[in-house]
Amino acid sequence: MDEPTTTGNEKAPLLKGVQQSKFIAFCRRHKRIVIPVAVMILLLPLLGLIALKTRHAHAMNWTSPVVYPSPQGYGAGNWSAAYLRARAMVGNMSLEEMNNITLGVVDTTSGCVGVSGSAPQHGFPGLCFHDAGNGVRNTDGVNAYASGLHIGASWNATLAYERAQYMGAEFKRKGVNVALGPVLGPIGRIAEGGRNFEAFAADPYLDGILGAQSVIGLQESVIASIKHFVAYEQETNRNPIANNGNPISSTSANLDDETMHELYLWPFQDLVHAGAGCAMCSYNRINNTYACENSKAMNGLLKGELNFQGFVVSDWAGQHSGLPSADAGLDMAMPTTGYWNERQLEKAVNSGALNQSRLVDMATRIVATYYQFGQDRALPLGIGMPPNLLLPHNYTDAKDPASKSSLLQQAIEGHVLVKNINGVLPLKQPKVLSIFGVLFPQSWEAIGLGTQQSIGIASNAPVQNPPEVQNGTLIVGGGSGSNTPAYISSPYDAIQSRAYDDGTAIFFDFVSTNPTVVSSSDACLVFINEYSSEVWDRPGLADPDSDTLVNNVASACNNTIVVIHNAGIRLVDAWVDSPNVTAVIFAHLPGQDAGRAIASILYGDVGPSGRLPYTVARRSSDYGSLLGPCQADGSLSPQCDFTEGVNVDYRGFLARNTTPRYEFGYGLTYSSFNYANLQTNINATTTPGDTVTPVYTNGTTNDNINNTAIGNGGLLSLFESVGTITASISNTGSVAAAEVAQLYLLIPAATSNSSNPRTRVLRGFEKVLIQPNETAQVAFNLRMKDVSTWNVTRQAWIVPSGEFGVYVGKSVLDTPLTGSFTV
Ligand code: BGC
């Protein structure tokens, strides 16, 4: 039979005649199945449309309010003299000169990671910027300090200050004017966050206290650039990706006002109060607006509410617009700019597109900060920073011999002992020791950036298969948070020297994952590491090869002691319950004295005194949605909703009622302590509902200058004391040891719901060294800030009324003393 033909205009039927009747018969027979399927097929496009609309709506839900104009710096508090001098200098500058000092310039004569423009006629030489929060990066003649996370684990504010003091002096001797640290964001919202090791702790209070001391220490020599402002919590999609003309934006951190204040902004406020001179806006978007052009963040929060008097610099290549970024409060673009480099700011002032007062303010803030921290008396710009270490250069030794004991102490105090069965530690003159894993010296940063990292930086794309382990002792993390050691004291060197003293025989294998174990071993030490770096988020929280090594050694050695050099959270459940794993230490990132420090703890010269500044879960899934980064999932505008509010890390575990393996604040030592005698002496009063004026309404009220209640850090009353909580702690063991007493409060508040309940929060800590059988008093001073919550309606911090729960003890979950006070 001839097939009917179709003419040019006719459409061929979907099904031909015979097939049609067969199809109809089939449909009749199977109508129960066919009808729903047909309905679904018909509905699919509709569902697709709804999905698209929802996605769109979801992005649109999170918008950042506009706050104009940018508040002008005016010399609040002890900044007044610097502002007078700055005004005098800037008053003589042309618009072109002002424009010129707001941008980074190419400088081939120094190794500074950024150099700002100069105004030579006025004696302003520009500024040298250099990483990072953990020591002078990528050069010679400097020390490698313990990383931020390691200092967080030390819970020692004095040590944080000392470290910054020595580090700042090194920056100064190198001719660096601005040290790009300390880091407060990422705070550690995401367990696998690549840069969590650069900040101190997954808690805003601890970050604020240690960060403020770091600012004070650094700024005795140079300007500190607190970073990354703000809500920068992941590396994945941190920068825009070109994507063949269809650019994918940086991730948008979508968060509400309360979460912003009580979590992410919190530590920055402490550091601005401590006098920070520079702040770096971050790569991410905040509620869909880039941080470096986000007027709510820079004008509203930083310069308005916190009354920041210094200048805002962009993260490197984090500027994405010209005038919008200037109007939003950005004062300097780094390391170069395509937006301001052709006198665009000057021209915009001349055309009326930019208010002249904004450009004057940008220049004045920069010059005032230069004067405020004595940079007019600094060494020539970048003098000790050779552009290329491989070419002949003058060697500048920036190290102060007096820093040695502090470096060692920093390295020691960040170690956290989490398991110690039957007192296997400290070691007691072992006859035979077997050692395995990665514990020889290696300077990662000195060798250069890892290939993966260079690729990642170049392409801006998320890195595939980033490494979890590096060969050799991990003393720092990677990227701009790393630093170059003057030397490395490796665990192997340090243990060998102890073996010499004790006559111990050492057997080692640094290669195999299934090493042979000498049966006479008194103990087997296994050193593993967990690497992390800027540019990528970690692929997991425990690398399988290291777990295999530990399990293999433990199966052959009944006294297996595991030391983990970890640049972030590291899970241990693959082996920690094995009876043969007798002791475990989180050694974090101790800097160049890693070996000396671990040996002094293993051999009991000192007791371990670190406590976890984050939560170690039993399994990855216990972190829930906060395990890994948000993914773009094909979107050109990746969205990351911070729906957990303030409940990150331990607060999330409390809120979800999930029991961790090792909780925030946990850590053992070689002694034991008894807590007693809790006393609360608080006289805070509830903030009256009708008398509160907002701390800063918006940019239109540029009136901080007329408000004596406002100073550096914002409302000064927030920093006033509302009383103390005291307790006594006795050392009930037989050796001297340090205890970290911690205070947690459960703050009564209106905003609490079942999915995001308010939990206890850290509000005080004190580290005390106590001799055996002695008792020490600890006193936690509470500031108004510490008993306040952010009220989004009133746009003010308020002290809520009701009963405040008080918990004092050894960790967030182990609080032998409980009480309350009522406001
Ligand atoms: C990092 C900053 C760093 C800057 C300069 C950026 O990639 O995010 O933390 O200070 O580079 O090295």
Residue nearest to atom 12 of ligand 1 (CA): 480
Nearest Cα residue to 816 out of 780, 738, 807: 807
3-state SS of 345-414 is HHHHHHHCCCCHHHHHHHHHHHHHHHHHCCHHHCCCCCCCCCCCCCCCCCCCCCCCHHHHHHHHHHHHHC
For residues 33 and 369, what is the distance between their CA atoms, to the nearest angstrom? 74
Residue 40 pLDDT exceeds 90:
no
- Hey, what's the torsion of the CAs at 266, 271, 277, 280, to 10 degrees? -40
CA of 312 to the centre of ligand 1 (A): 14
Residue 458 pLDDT exceeds 60:
no
Nearest Cα residue to 331 out of 61, 578, 7, 98: 98
Q: For 114-150, how does the pLDDT look when each residue is reduced to its tens digit (9 = 90+)?
A: 999 999 999 999 999 999 878 999 899 999 999 999 9
Which atom of ligand 1 is the closest one to the Cα of 335?
Answer: 5
Amino acid at 632: A
Give the pair of three-digit tokens for residue 1. Answer: 């039979």
Q: What percent of the chain has pLDDT over 70?
A: 87
Residue 30 pLDDT exceeds 70:
no
Residue of 312, 313, 534 best suited for mutating to test ligand 1, as the one with most atoms within 8 Å of CB: 534
Amino acid at 494: A
Give the pair of three-digit tokens for residue 750. Answer: 């209106």
Nearest Cα residue to 787 out of 813, 821, 815: 821
Residue nearest to atom 6 of ligand 1 (CA): 316
CA of 358 to the centre of ligand 1 (A): 26
Q: Grade residue 63 by pLDDT with cuts at 50, 70 and 90.
A: very high
Which pLDDT value is given to residue 199? 97
Mind telling me the catalytic residues? 315
Residue nearest to atom 9 of ligand 1 (CA): 480
Q: Grade residue 382 by pLDDT with cuts at 50, 70 and 90.
A: very high
Residues with C-beta less than 6 Å from any ligand 1 atom: 113, 131-132, 180, 227, 315-316, 480
Which pLDDT value is given to residue 41? 39
For residues 374 and 361, what is the distance between their CA atoms, to the nearest angstrom? 20
Residue 79 pLDDT exceeds 50:
yes
Local structure of residue 783 (DSSP, 8 states): E
CA of 283 to the centre of ligand 1 (A): 10
- Per the listing, tokens 């971050």 go with 282
For residues 475 and 637, what is the distance between their CA atoms, to the nearest angstrom? 37
Please measure the distance between the N-terminal and C-terminal CA atoms of the chain and give it in whole angstroms: 95
The residues that bridge with 741 in the sheet, in sequence order, are 766
Kind of pairing between the strands at 560-566 and 581-586: parallel
Give the pair of three-digit tokens for residue 387. Answer: 């552009």
Which pLDDT value is given to residue 533? 87
CB atoms within 10 A of CB 494: 21
Q: Grade residue 735 by pLDDT with cuts at 50, 70 and 90.
A: very high
Residue of 180, 292, 312, 483 best suited for mutating to test ligand 1, as the one with most atoms within 8 Å of CB: 180
Q: Residues 329, 293: contact at Cβ < 8 Å? A: no
Query: pLDDT: is 55 or 749 the higher one?
Result: 749
For residues 250 and 461, what is the distance between their CA atoms, to the nearest angstrom? 11
Q: Residues 268, 214: contact at Cβ < 8 Å? A: no
Which pLDDT value is given to residue 462? 57
User: Using alpha carbons only, what angle is made at residue 591 by residues 544 and 197, rounded to the nearest 5 degrees?
Assistant: 55
CA of 401 to the centre of ligand 1 (A): 29
Q: What percent of the chain has pLDDT over 90?
A: 79
Local structure of residue 146 (DSSP, 8 states): P
CA of 742 to the centre of ligand 1 (A): 33
Residue 53 pLDDT exceeds 60:
no
Q: For 482-528, how does the pLDDT look when each residue is reduced to its tens digit (9 = 90+)?
A: 887 888 899 999 999 999 999 999 999 999 999 999 999 999 999 99
CA of 488 to the centre of ligand 1 (A): 25
Averaged pLDDT for residues 638-646 = 96
Can you state the angle between helices 404-413 and 594-602, rounded to 10 degrees?
Answer: 60
Residue 11 pLDDT exceeds 80:
no
The residues that bridge with 639 in the sheet, in sequence order, are 252
Give the pair of three-digit tokens for residue 349. Answer: 């002032």
Give the three-state DSSP class for 575.
coil
Which pLDDT value is given to residue 38? 42
For residues 6 and 777, what is the distance between their CA atoms, to the nearest angstrom? 97
Residue 341 pLDDT exceeds 70:
yes
Average pLDDT, the chain: 89
Which pLDDT value is given to residue 202? 98
Instruction: Give residue 377's Cα distance to chain centre.
Output: 32
Residue nearest to atom 8 of ligand 1 (CA): 315
Which pLDDT value is given to residue 794? 85
Which pLDDT value is given to residue 270? 98
Q: For 736-757, how does the pLDDT look when each residue is reduced to its tens digit (9 = 90+)?
A: 999 999 999 999 976 666 667 8
Local structure of residue 252 (DSSP, 8 states): E
Q: Residues 671, 738: contact at Cβ < 8 Å? A: no
Q: Residues 782, 680: contact at Cβ < 8 Å? A: no
For residues 32 and 432, what is the distance between their CA atoms, to the nearest angstrom? 77
Residue of 128, 130, 131 best suited for mutating to test ligand 1, as the one with most atoms within 8 Å of CB: 131
Q: Residues 359, 323: contact at Cβ < 8 Å? A: no
CA of 543 to the centre of ligand 1 (A): 27
Q: How far is CA 799 from CA 49, 767, 802, in A?
A: 47, 28, 9
For residues 729 and 712, what is the distance between their CA atoms, to the nearest angstrom? 36
- Per the listing, tokens 């003890």 go with 809
Q: What is the DSSP string of 199-245?
A: BS-SSHHHHHHHHHHHHHHHTTTSEEEEEEETT---STT-S-B--TT
Exposure string (b/e) for 427-465, b if CB count within 10 Å is 16 or more? Answer: beebebbbbbbbbbbbbbbbeebbebbeebbeebbbbee
Q: For 668-709, how does the pLDDT look when each residue is reduced to its tens digit (9 = 90+)?
A: 999 999 999 999 999 998 888 766 566 666 655 557 898 888
For residues 759 and 125, what is the distance between their CA atoms, to the nearest angstrom? 50
For residues 54 and 60, what is the distance between their CA atoms, to the nearest angstrom? 9
CA of 492 to the centre of ligand 1 (A): 33
Q: What is the DSSP string of 462-486?
A: PPSS--S--SS---S-BGGG----S
CB atoms within 10 A of CB 108: 8
* Sheet strands (E) in 656-785: 673-682, 710-711, 714-715, 721-731, 737-746, 761-770, 775-783
Give the pair of three-digit tokens for residue 762. Answer: 């850290």
Phi-psi region of 679 (alpha: psi -120 to 50; beta: other; left: phi over 0): beta
Query: pLDDT: is 753 or 268 the higher one?
Result: 268
Cis bond before residue 230 (omega within 30° of 0): yes
Residue nearest to atom 3 of ligand 1 (CA): 480
Q: Residues 726, 679: contact at Cβ < 8 Å? A: yes
Q: Residues 509, 165: contact at Cβ < 8 Å? A: no
Which pLDDT value is given to residue 220? 98
Lowest mean pLDDT among 414-428, 452-466, 653-667, 761-775: 452-466
Query: Can you give the C-alpha Rg of the chain in angstroms?
Result: 29
Dihedral sign, Cα of residue 717, residue 201, residue 406, residue 732: positive
CA of 184 to the centre of ligand 1 (A): 13
Residue of 238, 312, 313, 316 best suited for mutating to test ligand 1, as the one with most atoms within 8 Å of CB: 316
User: Using alpha carbons only, what angle is made at residue 435 by residues 432 and 436, rounded to the nearest 5 degrees?
Assistant: 155
